[in-house]
Amino acid sequence: MSVKTTQSSSEDESLPNAQHAQHAQNAQHAQDTRDTLRNRKRAATRLSIRRAAIELGLRHGHENVTVEMICTASSVSQRTFFNYFGNKEGAYVSPRRPLPTAKQHRDFIEGGGTSVFGGLFGLISTTFIEAETDLELFQARHRLIHQTPGLLEREKAKISETEEIFVGYILERFRHDGRSTTETPDLEDEAHIVVALVSGALRFALQKWAAGNFTANRESLMQTTAELIQHITANEHWP
Amino acid sequence: MSVKTTQSSSEDESLPNAQHAQHAQNAQHAQDTRDTLRNRKRAATRLSIRRAAIELGLRHGHENVTVEMICTASSVSQRTFFNYFGNKEGAYVSPRRPLPTAKQHRDFIEGGGTSVFGGLFGLISTTFIEAETDLELFQARHRLIHQTPGLLEREKAKISETEEIFVGYILERFRHDGRSTTETPDLEDEAHIVVALVSGALRFALQKWAAGNFTANRESLMQTTAELIQHITANEHWP
DNA sequence: CTAAAAATTTGCAGGAACTACAAATAGAAT
DNA sequence: ATTCTATTTGTAGTTCCTGCAAATTTTTAG
């Protein structure tokens, strides 16, 4: 058989080492969120590595920073670094956002009164905005990533990974609304495009938000985004 | 000063070695396209490496193919491989499409009678479709990339690199149409979203085209794409 | 509190990607 | 034929990253 055990392909965000979970039958994503010493330490280590990486990257440029430097700066062994992040870039790019809760998910699919846009916007913006608590780090990371093409590429990839999830949600919503894939073969394409539209608009709204001084609340952000989309899709330039 | 000479960051598509071009004042992209022996050999080598890479990737899986294997298979030294492609993935992802000609560019900006969509679609589809001559290779590459997450990521990055260029074109078109950035601050965002919309729709149209038997001509492709966008932007689900 | 169990960190060896440098080879120009 | 320029290659070395097993730390159970 010789099955490849190269599972952790690129960016893991999970525990550094779950190999000993023998009797963890099918615990899957049963994240242990208790406030235990071990968990606190893990979070601290992860954060410490991230900070070191970004600070060094900002000071010397990502290309000129070695993993060894990051490890020294964060007092951790190289092996541990890779246990946490899998690859060098992992320490630079944004952490995986927490997925919407089961309730948020359900609410969106059943669409209680909200439009697809409204629901999707809510979902995406909570996912993308509210997760970040450390503004300082967030901004530093943002600066570094946007001045380093290779990192920007990774970041985009990570984002589109998340977007795939929303595509799935939209399909569920469509199905809930009675639209089936058999009847509309382009349904999946449609979902993809809707996500691209919303997150595209949102991305630039966010950029504005980040460039400004993080004023503006969610409502006005949504307002801006909606207007932009309206304007674009409503007007001239279509065949 | 100590300026970094790490220029060829990621994917070069240009000549393997232009370092001796001393008196090439500012030749920039003055590609020597003459049908000379040297040029033919270069093209042959490049193609040979590409074929070897993709064939090996398809047979053993990209992760299990080493650059050395590719080099052996294409009878080239490892150093030459990196001269051509800069990194391992370079041999797998699609080559950079030729940019629109100056005329195409001008026509789009001046928009002789066509809508922004129509013009953009024409531009993008010629750029993305007509470039590929070797269907065999194209399909093999497509298969490999879409079964290898890491490669897909690269491919997407390369595409979005090209899209940036179109964003620039649209901005020019907007300006030509009398819309200035000062009056509409969101102009750039708008351009980005228009590109996302069209190329998003086109991407899936292309996928269909590739999945099918490459039947369907450009017109019907454009038709499908336009309808999809119409449908999405026209209907329900906006706030 | 103590001992066993589980998770985390670490060191070490090694493979593979990639770069700098300079020499060797092949094609183009005169 | 000869000189000039572009391409290929080899060598040595750095860095990223992985597998493995031992050492350490935290949790759990008694």
Residues of A in contact with B226 (CB under 8 A): 238-239
Average pLDDT for residues B31-41, to the nearest whole number? Answer: 85
Distances from the Cα of B4 to the Cαs of A66, B66, B235, in angstroms?
A: 16, 29, 52
Residue B44 beta carbon within 7 A of nucleic strand D: no
Cβ atoms of A57 and A71 within 8 Å: the answer is no
pLDDT, position B95: 92
Q: What is the pTM of this model?
A: 0.82
Distances from the Cα of A218 to the Cαs of A83, A93, A105, A222, B173, in angstroms?
A: 36, 24, 19, 6, 32
Measured CA to CA, the distance from residue B81 to residue B70 in angstroms comes to 9
Q: What is the pLDDT of residues A33-70, one digit of tens each?
A: 788 989 999 999 999 999 999 999 999 999 999 999 99
Measured CA to CA, the distance from residue B39 to residue B30 in angstroms comes to 14
pLDDT, position A188: 81
Query: B85-114 b/e with 16+ CB inside 10 Å = b?
Result: bbbbbbbbbbeebeebeeebbebbbeeeeb
Residue A68 beta carbon within 7 A of nucleic strand D: yes
Radius of gyration of chain A (CA): 20
Measured CA to CA, the distance from residue A199 to residue B46 in angstroms comes to 38
Q: Which bases in strand D are touched by protein, i.e. have an atom under 7 Å from a CB?
A: 5-11, 14-20, 26-28
Average pLDDT for residues B67-83, to the nearest whole number? Answer: 98
Q: Within an 8 Å CB–CB cutoff, is residue B146 touching chain A?
A: no
pLDDT more than 70, % of chain B? 75
pLDDT, position B87: 96
| Residue A227: pLDDT over 90 | no
pLDDT, position B132: 62
- State the burial class of residue A230 (Cβ atoms within 10 Å of its Cβ: 0-12, 13-18, 19+): middle
pLDDT, position A35: 87
pLDDT, position B216: 65
Spacing of C-alpha B150 from chain mean position: 17
CA of A77 to C1' of C11 (A): 9
Q: Within an 8 Å CB–CB cutoff, is residue A231 touching chain B?
A: yes
Question: For chain B, give me the number of helices (H) and strands (E)?
Answer: 9, 0
Inter-chain CB proximity B193 and A201 less than 8 Å? yes
